[in-house]
C-alpha cells in the first residue's frame, strides 16, 4: 500500500496522555485548567461518562487519521472592526498536506497560505502566498510570494536549515481535523494541539453539566476551565448523526456570558471516515472590538488520492495542488495580467507599468 496509517491508540494510552498533560498549562488562557468540583448528581454520572467517551472518540479519530493526506480549504471571512465604517471581506485559501510516514511523524509536511482582501472597486487587490515545506520535521524550503499592482511577483526562497520569522499574515500549521474546535486566534498562534485538547476535554473534573436533546440525537457537555481569573465555559454538542463527533462548539466567558467563539461543523463520510466538510465560525477579539465571521469549505484527498511526494516545483507549489484538486488556478503571470486589466477598468493603472508586462 502507498500509505502507512496512524494506529488507533488504546484507552489506556489516552488516559496516560491526559494525566501527563493535565499537569501542564492550557494554551487557551493564561492559567492552567482548574477543576470546578461540579460533577453533578450520581444519576448523571452515566451521561458524564458518555461525554467523556465521545471526547475520547474524537481524539482517537484524530490519532487514527491517515498519515498522508492533502486538504484544500477555501474561506470567506468578514472582519468587522469597531469605529470602522466598512467591514473587510477576505477570500482565503489554505493547502495543508502530509506525506506518508511512520505512526509518529509524516515524512514531509506542507502548508500553503494565501489571502486576497476585497476592497471597493477591486475584486482582487493583493494576493499573498506563504509556502512552507518541512522534510523529516526539518525546514526544507520556504517561499513567500507577493504580488501587487505596481510590483512584479516577488519570491523569497530559503533553503534547508533556515527558519526565518514568518510574515505577519502567516498561519501556523494545524491539522484540519481540529477545525471543529479551533478559534481563529488559536490557528494563528499554533495552539491547536492534541495536548491542549486532551488537557481540557479529557479532564472529567472540568465537566459542569451534561444535557440531552429532546430526541436524544445530540449530547451537550459544558466544560469550565481557565482558573479564577478568566474562567471559560465551553459547550460541546456531540451528534449521533455524525458518529458522535462535535457539530457545535460554543466558547463564552463564564462570568458575563459574553461570546468568545461559536463554531458549527457539518461532515461528509468518505471511505468509512467522517471528515469536516463545512465549518462556520463567529468569534470576538479579547477587546471585544473586532468580530470575525467565516465560512470554510474543505476538500480532502486521502491516502491513494493524496500526493505521492512533496511538491518539487521551484516556483509556485500551489499549481502542483491545483492539479490534484482539479482547480482552475491561474499561473502568477496571468494572474498579474488580470489584475492590471481590472485596475485599468477602474481608472487606476499606470500605463507605463502596464506596457512593461
User: Is residue 319 within a helix (H) or strand (E), and if so which, with residue range?
Assistant: helix 317-324
* Helix-strand-coil split of the chain, %, nearest 5: 25, 35, 40
The crossing angle, in degrees rounded to 10, of helices 45-63 and 194-201 is 170
Backbone angles phi, psi at 4, to 5 degrees: -105, 150
User: How is residue 127 annotated by DSSP?
Assistant: -
- Residue 14 maps to a domain: no
- Residue 50 maps to a domain: yes
Contact partners, residue 86, CB within 8 Å, separation at least 6: 120
CA distance 147 to 129: 9
- Residue 65 maps to a domain: yes
- Residue 340 maps to a domain: no
Number of domains in the chain: 1
Question: Residue 230 has which C-alpha cell?
Answer: 478568566
Strand partners, 278: 266, 297
Q: Which is it for strands 259-270 and 128-135: parallel, antiparallel or unpaired? A: unpaired
Nearest CA-CA partner of 57 in 246, 236, 183: 246
Per-residue pLDDT tens digits of the chain, which is 357 residues long = 443 333 334 333 443 433 333 333 333 333 334 434 344 455 578 999 999 999 999 999 998 898 889 999 999 999 898 877 778 888 888 999 998 876 667 788 888 888 776 655 444 445 567 777 888 777 666 665 554 433 334 444 444 455 555 544 557 788 999 999 999 888 877 777 888 888 899 998 899 999 999 999 999 999 999 877 889 999 999 999 999 999 999 999 999 999 999 999 999 998 889 999 999 999 998 888 889 999 999 999 998 888 877 777 555 678 788 889 998 776 655 655 665 665 566 555 444 443 444
CA distance 194 to 203: 13
- Residue 345 maps to a domain: no
- Residue 171 maps to a domain: no
Nearest CA-CA partner of 180 in 224, 235, 227, 137: 235
CB of 188 within 8 A of CB of 167? Answer: no
- Residue 351 maps to a domain: no
- Residue 77 maps to a domain: yes
Domain with 148, as residue range(s), is: 45-161+176-329
Question: Residue 79 has which C-alpha cell?
Answer: 472582519
Amino acid at each position: 500500500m502507498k500509505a502507512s496509517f496512524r494506529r488507533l491508540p488504546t484507552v489506556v494510552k489516552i488516559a496516560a496522555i491526559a494525566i501527563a498533560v493535565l499537569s501542564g498549562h492550557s494554551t487557551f488562557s493564561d492559567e492552567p485548567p482548574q477543576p470546578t468540583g461540579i460533577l453533578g448528581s450520581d444519576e448523571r454520572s452515566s451521561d458524564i461518562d458518555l461525554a467523556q467517551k465521545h471526547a475520547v472518540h474524537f481524539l482517537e479519530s484524530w490519532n487514527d487519521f491517515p498519515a498522508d493526506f492533502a486538504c484544500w480549504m477555501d474561506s470567506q471571512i468578514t472582519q468587522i472592526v469597531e469605529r470602522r465604517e466598512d467591514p473587510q471581506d477576505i477570500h482565503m485559501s489554505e493547502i495543508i498536506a502530509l506525506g506518508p510516514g511512520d505512526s509518529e511523524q509524516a515524512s514531509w509536511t506542507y502548508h500553503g497560505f494565501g489571502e486576497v482582501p476585497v476592497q471597493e472597486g477591486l475584486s482582487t487587490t493583493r494576493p499573498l502566498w506563504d509556502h512552507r515545506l518541512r522534510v523529516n520535521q526539518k525546514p526544507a524550503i520556504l517561499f513567500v510570494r507577493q504580488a501587487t499592482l505596481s510590483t512584479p511577483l516577488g519570491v523569497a526562497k530559503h533553503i534547508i536549515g533556515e527558519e526565518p520569522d514568518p510574515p505577519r499574515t502567516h498561519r501556523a500549521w494545524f491539522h484540519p481535523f481540529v477545525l471543529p474546535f479551533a478559534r481563529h486566534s488559536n490557528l494563528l498562534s499554533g495552539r491547536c494541539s492534541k495536548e491542549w485538547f486532551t488537557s481540557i476535554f479529557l479532564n472529567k473534573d472540568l465537566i459542569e453539566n451534561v444535557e440531552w436533546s429532546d430526541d436524544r440525537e445530540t449530547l451537550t457537555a459544558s466544560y469550565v476551565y481557565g482558573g479564577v481569573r478568566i474562567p471559560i465555559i465551553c459547550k460541546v454538542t456531540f451528534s449521533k448523526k455524525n458518529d458522535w463527533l462535535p457539530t457545535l462548539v460554543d466558547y463564552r466567558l463564564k462570568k458575563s456570558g459574553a461570546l468568545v467563539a461559536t463554531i458549527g461543523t457539518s461532515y461528509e463520510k468518505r471511505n468509512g471516515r467522517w471528515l469536516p466538510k463545512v465549518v462556520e465560525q463567529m468569534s470576538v477579539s479579547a477587546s471585544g472590538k473586532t468580530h470575525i465571521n467565516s465560512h470554510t469549505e474543505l476538500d480532502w484527498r486521502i491516502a491513494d488520492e493524496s500526493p505521492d511526494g512533496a511538491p518539487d516545483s521551484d516556483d509556485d507549489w500551489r499549481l502542483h495542488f491545483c492539479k490534484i484538486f482539479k482547480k482552475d488556478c491561474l499561473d502568477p503571470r496571468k494572474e498579474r495580467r488580470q489584475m492590471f486589466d481590472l485596475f485599468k477598468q477602474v481608472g487606476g493603472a499606470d500605463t507605463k507599468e502596464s506596457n512593461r508586462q
